[in-house]
Amino acid sequence: MQNLLRQEELLNQVREKVTAFATDAIFSLPTLLLALAVLLITRSVAKLVRSAAQKVGARTLKSLSLRQLLVQTSYAAAWIVGILLASIIAFPNLNIQDAIALLGFGSVAIGFAFQDIFKNFLSGILLLLQEPFSLGDQIIVGEFEGTVAEIALRSTQIRTYQGELVVVPNSIVFTSPVQVRTGRPQRRTDLAIGVDYNTPLPKAIKTLHDATTSIEEIKSVPAVEVDVVSFGDSSIDLLVRYWTHPEQKSVRRIKTQVMVALKQACDQADIVIPYPIRTVYHFDQDDYSDNMAIESVNN
């Protein structure tokens, strides 16, 4: 009898809780629907804000990186405002101060859980603000080299010279040495060449200098330099230094032209570009045998 009474009492408690929950849900349904509507409206407003930011950035900012930063932060800010409004509508007892405090506490908790993501996010913002390189620049980061295709808040995309797309996290880009090959309007190339030891060096220097300056795309300022750098095993080594446009395609094409011009100039001036030379000495092994040396020691 007592067990039946206890079961009926538990069932009554469950019914009361379910009824209270259903009642609260019915009363909260309009506010939940309104909050959902606010989120849908936020989605459209965020797109409008992004489009407006793109237009404003195109008119006021020359830097493509800063334009991207303006667009991405404006889009994120619109969503944050919309989510806060939807939260206040869905939970009427939650005021703005509580929402901001809750957002701050949640940010700390999420930050510990997703610290790598936030590290990339902050690194992306700093890269866009400091702008050590821009879209279209050719850079080297670690073992990757290519053209910067996109600088986002999370990663930097590099298009390699082979046509491959490499996505590098911004935290790696921000903390690693970055070589910007197109950071200046001109770029120097050092090209080594060796001449025979019988070649008069003033003649070799003038021949190589004139051949290099004959290439139209080579910059006249700074001037072409030809230096003698070392005495090699089979040649006197010289170094030709010249300046060109910094793009890799231009550097590679002009280097080929310079090499062809140097070879033709050396042929016309009878300057020999020698092969590696090795001198081999032959001795009579009978005169230098180990047995004779041992016998002489024993005697």
Predicted confidence (pLDDT) per residue in 115-158, tens digit: 677 788 788 878 877 888 888 899 999 899 999 998 887 889 99
Q: What is the pLDDT of residue 148?
A: 93
Q: Show the CA angle centred on residue 259, arms to residues 258 and 265, nearest 5°.
A: 85
Predicted confidence (pLDDT) per residue in 79-116, tens digit: 878 877 777 776 666 555 555 555 555 555 455 545 67
Element spanning 138, H or E: strand 138-141
Interatomic CA distance for residues 119 and 111, integer angstroms: 9
Least confident of 62-76, 122-136, 143-157, 243-257: 62-76
pTM over 0.75: no
Could you tell me whether strands 155-160 and 138-141 are parallel, antiparallel, or unpaired per DSSP bridges? unpaired
Is pLDDT of 250 > 90?
A: yes
Split at pLDDT 50, 70, 90, the class of 285 is: low
Least confident of 130-144, 197-211, 249-263: 130-144
Residue range 217-229: mean pLDDT, rounded:
93
Split at pLDDT 50, 70, 90, the class of 45 is: confident
Higher pLDDT, 239 or 89: 239
Q: Show the CA angle centred on residue 111, arms to residues 108 and 115, nearest 5°.
A: 155
Interatomic CA distance for residues 123 and 222, integer angstroms: 37
Residue 265 in contact with residue 249, Cβ under 8 Å? no
Residue 246 in contact with residue 187, Cβ under 8 Å? yes
Question: What domains sit in the chain, N to C, each tagged with a CATH number?
Answer: 2-113 (1.10.287), 129-180 (2.30.30.60), 187-268 (3.30.70.100)
Residues 6+ apart with CB under 8 A from 90: 28, 31, 32, 34, 35
Percentage of the chain with pLDDT > 70? 72
Q: What is the pLDDT of residue 49?
A: 82
Interatomic CA distance for residues 18 and 77, integer angstroms: 39
Residue range 67-83: mean pLDDT, rounded:
78
Is pLDDT of 55 > 90?
A: no
HEC secondary structure over 145-163? EEEEEEECCCEEEEEECCC
Is pLDDT of 221 > 50?
A: yes
Q: Where are the alpha helices (DSSP H) in the chain?
A: 2-60, 64-90, 96-113, 115-130, 170-175, 201-213, 248-268, 290-298
Residue 83 in contact with residue 116, Cβ under 8 Å? no
Residue range 221-247: mean pLDDT, rounded:
93
Least confident of 76-80, 118-122, 263-267, 282-286: 282-286
Interatomic CA distance for residues 20 and 13, integer angstroms: 11
